[in-house]
Amino acid sequence: MTALWALVGARSGEVLSYQGRAIVHGDRAELEFLFPASRVVPCPTDLVATSMPLSVHPGMAAVRFPLRKEDYR
């Protein structure tokens, strides 16, 4: 199984979620690139079953995954 990574809220200290589902991504480097000021942690195992991939979050509709360097020049 591929490791999943999650973002942690700066104030809440909790894994960020959308509609009750933890937002996760399989590439830590991509998360750190997209959200440079955010803390990235391994997704807690109890949240994996109810998680949502970052790529399907409505706010990420304009982002192409996997990330391509030419999209960010």
Which pTM value belongs to this model?
0.89
**Domain span at 20:** 5-72
For residues 40 and 6, is the Cβ–Cβ distance under 8 A?
yes
The pLDDT confidence band at residue 65, using thresholds 50, 70 and 90, is: very high
pLDDT of 1 higher than 60:
no
DSSP tag of 60? G
pLDDT for 73 equals 81
Residue 44, preceding peptide bond in cis (omega within 30° of 0): no
44-62 residue pLDDT tens: 999 999 999 999 999 999 9
Number of compact structural domains in the chain: 1
